[in-house]
């Protein structure tokens, strides 16, 4: 409340903030706040001793970084991508003053949803059983579940590639896509939302092709690449603008070399082969790969080369970002100098 006799202003209500913290989890929020209700403090009344009432205490909710904040309609209203970042979830109301007839105003009240998306340098993309989990265990210290049935990865697994100069690159093994994932079939959107937050894509393809079950069509390695590209594009076209590498796995299998030669011809001139495919793939786009690396997670063939290619690709992108940042700074500086000259 304000203090009409002396024109005192009441303290405004506290705000509710979401603050990204490194070790926070969605589970820890649920355990600590089972009712999922967050209320900031009330502002202090204006009085003879303190005409300007104190602001109410802010409520800070610690959340994991990589969070998207959605409103009740599912529209994204904010995101927290690094530890320490803050998002104002609800603003406190104004204290009573002359403008409000010395009566306090109600603070903001809203329902928000927290959606966690994994943040990684590289995201492994592939159909089930392509060998993504095996690859992650080979290039990092992660210990994902590995088996010869399709859906061993049902939630993202994060590993780190450690280099001799102590550089670390995070790699996410994401649940296997299936055809129709863009329409939320299988683990569709659960998988694809994580792809959005990775800086680069690493497609992992079985050189011998892929068949989910006896009821589904067999797909060659070339068709697999086209279908993966199609699923990414139909979910969000911008995903195709991410830098991409291609790892062709299971090169230890019989006929792998012949299959690889055929695949390389198809990838060099994809338009020459699209007319041979089924209608749904005949107009497909294909990702441009910075590098194509044949590997075997079983024998270790190509693993070191793949790690080197990942490092090179990440470093090149970082250098490009730095160059763009330097150009922007220079442009701002030049604009500022021109404005000062014009003022004179």
3-state SS assignment for residue 342: helix
What predicted TM-score, i.e. pTM, was given to this entire model?
Answer: 0.66
β-strands 289-294, 76-80 pairing: unpaired
Q: What is the pLDDT of residues 246-268, one digit of tens each?
A: 999 999 999 999 999 999 998 88
- Does 176 have pLDDT greater than 70? no
The C-alpha atoms of residue 295 and residue 256 are separated, in whole angstroms, by 11
Per-residue pLDDT at 152: 39
Residue in the structure block whose two tokens are 């690709």: 313
Which domains does the chain show, CATH number per domain? 4-116 (2.70.210.12), 120-321 (3.40.50.300)
The answer to whether 100 and 7 have CB atoms below 8 angstroms apart is: no
**What are the Cα distances from residue 17, in Å, to 82, 134, 142, 212?**
15, 40, 34, 45
* Percentages (nearest 5) of helix, strand, coil residues in the chain: 35, 20, 45
Q: What is the pLDDT of residues 238-247, one digit of tens each?
A: 888 999 999 9
- The share of the chain scoring above pLDDT 90, in percent, equals 41
- Does 306 have pLDDT greater than 90? yes
- Beta bridge partners, 246, equal 203, 292
Q: What is the pLDDT of residues 10-52, one digit of tens each?
A: 999 999 999 998 888 888 888 888 888 999 999 999 999 999 9
Q: Identify the helix (H) or strand (E) that includes residue 318.
A: helix 303-343
Q: How confident is the model at residue 151 (pLDDT cuts 50, 70, 90)?
A: very low
Per-residue pLDDT at 253: 92
The C-alpha atoms of residue 232 and residue 192 are separated, in whole angstroms, by 8
**Residues sharing a CB contact under 8 Å with residue 210, sequence separation 6 or more, in sequence order:** 127, 129, 130, 218, 219, 224
Per-residue pLDDT at 149: 37
């Amino acid at each position: 409340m304000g203090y009409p006799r002396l024109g005192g202003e009441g303290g405004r209500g506290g705000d509710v903030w979401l603050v990204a913290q490194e070790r926070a989890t969605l589970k820890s929020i649920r355990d600590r706040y089972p009712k999922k209700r967050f209320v900031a403090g009330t502002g202090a009344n204006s009085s003879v001793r303190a005409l300007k009432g104190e602001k109410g205490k802010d409520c800070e909710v610690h959340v994991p970084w990589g969070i998207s904040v959605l409103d009740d309609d599912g529209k994204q209203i904010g995101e927290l991508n690094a530890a320490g970042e803050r998002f104002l979830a609800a603003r406190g109301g104004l204290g009573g003053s002359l403008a409000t007839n010395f009566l306090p105003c109600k603070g903001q009240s809203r329902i928000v949803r927290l959606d966690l998306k994994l943040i990684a340098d590289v995201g492994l993309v592939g159909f089930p059983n392509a060998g993504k989990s095996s690859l992650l265990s080979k290039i990092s210290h992660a210990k994902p579940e590995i088996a010869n049935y399709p859906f061993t990865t049902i939630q993202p697994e994060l590993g780190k590639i450690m280099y001799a100069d102590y550089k670390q690159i995070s790699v996410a093994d994401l649940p296997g896509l299936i055809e129709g994932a863009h329409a939320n079939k299988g683990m569709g959107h659960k998988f694809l939302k994580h792809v959005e937050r990775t800086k680069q894509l690493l497609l992992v393809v079985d050189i011998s092709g892929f068949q989910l079950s006896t009821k589904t069509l067999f797909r060659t390695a070339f068709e697999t690449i086209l279908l993966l590209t199609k699923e990414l594009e139909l979910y969000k076209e911008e995903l195709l603008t991410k830098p991409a590498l291609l790892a062709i796995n299971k090169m230890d299998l019989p006929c792998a070399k012949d299959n690889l030669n055929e695949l390389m011809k198809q990838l060099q001139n994809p338009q020459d082969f699209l007319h041979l495919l089924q209608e749904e793939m005949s107009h497909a786009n294909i990702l441009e790969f910075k590098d194509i690396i044949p590997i075997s997670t079983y024998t270790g063939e190509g693993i070191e080369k793949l790690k080197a290619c990942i490092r090179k690709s990440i470093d090149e992108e970082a250098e490009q970002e730095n160059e763009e940042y330097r150009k922007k700074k220079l442009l701002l500086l030049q604009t500022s100098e021109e404005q000062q000259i014009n003022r004179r």
